[in-house]
Structure 1
Amino acid sequence: MTVLKALKKMFGKADGEQPSPVNQPAAPLDTAPVNTGRNSKARDKNRDSSKAKADATGAKPARNDASKATRPRRERAAKPVDNWKLSDFVVEPAEGKTRFHDFNLTPGLMHAIHDLGFPYCTPIQAGVLGYTLSGQDAIGRAQTGTGKTAAFLISIITQLQQTPPPKERYMGEPRALIIAPTRELVVQIAKDAQDLTKYCDLNVMSFVGGMDFDKQLKLLESRYCDILVATPGRLLDFNQRGEVHLDMVEVMVLDEADRMLDMGFIPQVRQIIRQTPMKGERQTLLFSATFTEDVMNLAKQWTTNPAIVEIEPESVASDTVEQHVYAVAGSDKYKLLYNLIAQNDWIRVMVFANRKDEVRRIEERLTRDGISAAQMSGDVPQHKRIKVLEGFREGKIRVLVATDVAGRGIHVDAISHVINFTLPEDPDDYVHRIGRTGRAGTNGTSISFAGEDDAYALPPIEQLLGRKISCEMPPDELLKPVPRKG
């Protein structure tokens, strides 16, 4: 039984009951997506329930309720309007492709999509939007870089534009909630959300650990929050202090559910979800790179009659990435790394290691030897991570050394090479690592060092890829001693 069949069986869907998402006909442009009305009803129900509890117990409202109750409602300044028209965004129909024009999206959202240069949907976008724009829950399986972030953001933005906000509204009540496992991924999703809401009257906020709590709190108190992107820990901090209330959430997204399981975040996620409306009264979208039994069980608990969208990658690893493996002694790995970068004059390289202490040592040695480098690990404060990423994007930093957890969610254009200083124990992490290069139609190269301590990890990687990777001995010039500075 395939994974997809197992999922359908779990949710009581026999074969043939649900059309294939990829072949699902898109909603006609002149037909508005169905709005179930469950979100506005849930809002009223939850607010009435909260008010009744307060009246019955005599309890004082939380800080946000108290401060906002006496504060006059602020009208947000409208986003700038220009003379752009949908007719400025001409995309011809193409066989086998779905256009964003094929869905009933607002002009402001279409304008943002046009600015981003996305004429056609990716397979995961075409499959998911056919369901979620009508208010249905969905479970999506897709690899990083397939466009799933835009898929759930477009759905959220459309929902929030179709359903007016409640008349009585507090600053700390997001209407859409996106939970992601890492700080970098949260920052990236929030940036994408800002780009897509450029011409929409919606506010996006992001909360992550490692950043100044008071600054994030001031932002929360300065304007209404429509879309909130957060890591589980920092979101719980705000929620437990009474600064964020989740009873008005209309759409909830769990991104990279498999990674949240691996990182032990599910107990925190459960606490968060208990603060949101019941699963039948909110739309829930869950995305994962794998459909393990644990992920399937979570999906069953948190969704109602979900559409199941599974996009098989054409290949496990992108064909745009040229892969090499060097057999090298552990004592020679650093020499090989230095000479590869220095002799080839590479300017934007990402190096992965398995442990934080390895990342720190590699970064320190490269810096000492005259190559601009920075590290990205759990030990690096968030404000410094953001500064490092900007320096890497701008070319001020040539080499970014990272662990798998810190490297997840990093999307930087024009990374020419990815180097696995140590091979990952999990083969899926190998695919994720090399996917940092060869993006957006460009070509990239990955080079892995297989030493006596990690060569055992190569066969499982080859099994996942479905092919052998030739193992080479590095040429002598790449093993020359590193010249000492000064």
Structure 2
Amino acid sequence: MSNKNSSNLRFSELSLSPKIMRALDEMNFEFCSPIQAKSLPYSLSSHDVVGKAQTGTGKTAAFLIAVFEDLLKERANDVRYAGEARALIIAPTRELVVQIAKDAQQIGKYTDLKIHTLVGGMDYGRQLNKLHSSLVDILVATPGRLLDFCEKREVYLDQLEVLVVDEADRMLDMGFIPQIKRIIRLAPKNTHRQTLLFSATFPEDVLRLSEQWTHEPIRVEIEPESIATDTVDQKVYLVSTDEKLTLLTNLFRDPDVGNLIVFANRRDQCKRLHDQLSRRNLKVGLLTGDIPQSKRIRTLDDFKKGKLDALVATDVAGRGIHINDVTHVVNYTLPEEPEDYVHRIGRTGRAGASGVSISFACEEDAFHLPAIEELLGRKINCEQPPSHLLKK
């Protein structure tokens, strides 16, 4: 977890509890990032907050610090039951849930607060046994698996003190809103809990939902330009569809390319690309939404350990990836949603390092460029790829 793009507000100025400050000091968190500086003074005062912030801006730490401080400040009920959560964090993908829980373990390492995760694609019985083995202070979950547990009366949300909805726009895109509405109906009403909602964008539907789910919220915004796109050298190579695979294969041989993530829009595109690269004796991992969670975690670990040359991923699988030393991101196909472009290139140029994003634009992809440039607020240089990258 990095804290780049710092503001002038120090964590030591926020009157945080000693246990949280000790963990933040060990993580070298001295200054708040902009979203933390804007949201924490309100969330720490028990206000509801609706925040506009992209992945990679420090929003996870922003809501986790608020959650921990609330639970440490308020004493838990003397009588508690298994599966009765005090705080709930809902996120759209399994990877993001796992990452949030990992960050929570770091921030809360000196507290005795118990963190549990519920995600689909992993052993139901094991998650159930863990729920029964210790009380739940902070529950991090994907909507579908959480509802499974609620409907079987293994998880109870009626005692929630804090509710966090992360990446609300992505929840909307993935069709999770009906599930989240059912989850929220199981929680105390919005005047009897604190609600923190974060979204990379604020489409009308998300704004309407935020009004229903929160009570007199403070709204804070960090514009996309605040993301460290200035640390990413963005290139667009104009190519035909037939040239893409040759271009990508040659990029693997470029000595400047270290850890590489390749994005495509659909599962079938990723699977085909993974097979084609594997046949060229390249060690490539595949991350798509239909791959079992345990296998996805192993793939990510192999990539972090340098056992793989690259990852091929869809946006759903790629959203929760936090790896600090990714040197290059390739958009094999340009995303249809401009916000996804920003998320993709945000996988590189992290933690103060510089990175490179290379987008392959054939005739079909080029239609998506104007909307991406409008979101970025600037033109992206389009060029012919160097001739040596097109050699068969």
Q: Is the 8 A contact 2:7 2:34 kept in 1?
A: no
2:191 partner SS = helix
1:49 matched to which residue of 2? none
Question: 2:12 corresponds to which letter in structure 1?
Answer: H
CA contact (8 A) 1:238 1:244 kept: yes
Shift in Å, 1:251: 0.2
Distance, in Å, in 1 between the alignment partners of 2:303 and 2:192 is 43
CA–CA separation in structure 2 for the residues paired with 1:300 and 1:464: 25
2:163 maps to 252
Choose 125-134 or 210-219, whichever is displaced more.
125-134
Q: Which of 338, 357, 364 is residue 275 of structure 2 equivalent to?
A: 364
The answer as to whether partners of 1:258 and 1:289 remain within 8 angstroms in 2 is yes
- Compute the displacement of 1:382 (Å): 0.6
For 1:291, the equivalent position in structure 2 comes to: 202
Given that residues 326 and 355 in structure 2 are in contact (C-alpha distance below 8 angstroms), is that contact kept between their aligned partners in structure 1?
yes
Look up the SS of the partner of 1:218 in the other structure: helix
How has the CA–CA distance of structure 1 residues 430 and 313 changed in structure 2, closer, same or farther, with 3 Å as cutoff? closer
* Mapping of residues 329-478 of structure 1, within 5 Å: 329-344=240-255, 346-478=257-389
Give the 3-state SS of the residue equivalent to 1:242 in structure 2. coil
Larger Rg: 1
Are 1:277 and 2:188 matched, yes or no?
A: yes
Distance in 2 separating the partners of 1:218 and 1:368: 42
Using the alignment, how far apart are the partners of 2:12 and 2:255 within structure 1? Answer: 45
What is the aligned partner in structure 1 of residue 33 from structure 2? 122
Matched residues, number: 387
**Aligned counterparts of 2:364 and 2:225: Cα–Cα separation in 1:** 32
1:456-485 superposed Cα distances (whole Å, 9 cap, x missing partner): 11222122222222221122221122xxxx
Determine if the alignment matches structure 1 residue 186 to structure 2 residue 97: yes
Aligned CA-pair RMSD = 1.4
- Contact 1:346-1:398 at 8 Å conserved across structures: no
Identity in percent: 58
Is 1:208 paired with 2:119?
yes
Q: Does 1:102 pair with 2:13? A: yes
Distance change >3 Å, CA 308–CA 345, structure 1 → 2: closer
Query: Structure 1 counterpart of 2:26, which letter?
Result: D
Question: Per-residue deviation at 1:312?
Answer: 2.6
Q: Give the corresponding residue for 1:6.
A: none
Q: 1:265 aligns with which of 159, 166, 176?
A: 176
The Cα of 1:384 is off from its aligned counterpart by 0.5
Shift in Å, 1:440:
1.0
Query: Could you tell me how far 1:284 is from its partner in structure 2?
Result: 0.5
- The residue type paired with residue 364 of structure 1 is D
TM-fit CA distance, 1:146 = 1.0
Indicate the residue corresponding to 1:59 in structure 2: none
Higher RCO (Cα < 8 Å, 6 or more apart): 2
Superposed displacement of residue 327, structure 1: 0.9
Q: Which of 307, 312, 316 is equivalent to 2:218?
A: 307
Per-residue Cα deviation, 1:13-33 (whole angstroms, up to 9, x for no partner) = xxxxxxxxxxxxxxxxxxxxx
- 1:101 Cα deviation from its structure 2 partner: 1.0
Match of 1:131 among 42, 47, 52: 42
Cα distance in 2 for partners of 1:317, 1:165 equals: 40
- Correspondence for 2:3: none
CA distance 1:231–1:275, change in 2 (3 Å): same
Instruction: Tell me if the contact between 2:7 and 2:31 (Cα under 8 Å) persists in the aligned partners.
Output: no
CA–CA distance in structure 1, aligned partners of residues 239 and 159 of structure 2: 56
Displacement of 1:315 after TM fit? Answer: 4.8
Match status 1:112 vs 2:23: yes
DSSP 3-state at the match of 2:163: strand
Question: Taking structure 2 as the reference length, what is the TM-score of the superposition?
Answer: 0.96
SS at match of 1:453: helix
The structural deviation recorded for 1:414 is: 0.4
Confirm or deny that 1:175 pairs with 2:77.
Answer: no
Residue of 158, 163, 167 corresponding to 2:74: 163
Q: Tell me how far apart the structure 2 counterparts of residues 259 and 195 of structure 1 sit (CA, whole Å).
A: 26
The answer to whether the Cα contact below 8 Å between 1:393 and 1:413 also exists between their aligned partners in 2 is no
**Post-superposition CA distance 1:173-194 (Å, at most 9, x none):** 1100000111111111110001
Q: Would the aligned equivalents of 1:316 and 1:464 in 2 still touch at CA under 8 Å?
A: no
Task: Give TM-score, length-normalised by structure 1.
Answer: 0.78
Structure 1 residue identity aligned to 2:210: A
- Looking at structure 1, the residues matched to 60 and 226 of structure 2 have their Cα atoms a distance apart, in angstroms, of 20
The CA deviation string for residues 153-185 of structure 1, in whole angstroms up to 9 with x for no partner, is 001101111111111101211100000111111
Distance 1:223 1:323 in 2: 48
User: Does the 8 Å contact 1:128/1:309 carry over to 2?
Assistant: yes
Structure 1 stretch displaced more, 186-195 or 121-130: 121-130
Mapped contact 1:142–1:148 kept (Cα < 8 A)? yes
Mapped to 2, the partners of 1:316 and 1:201 lie a distance apart of 34
Per-residue CA deviations over 1:114-168 (Å, capped at 9, x if unaligned) read: 1111001111111111111111111111121111111110011011111111111
Which blocks of at least 5 consecutive residues in structure 1 are unaligned?
A: 1-94, 482-486
Which runs of at least 4 in structure 1 moved beyond 6 Å after TM superposition? none
Query: How far 1:345 moved relative to its partner?
Result: 6.3
CA shift at 1:316, angstroms?
6.2
Cα deviation for residue 99 of structure 1 reads 1.0
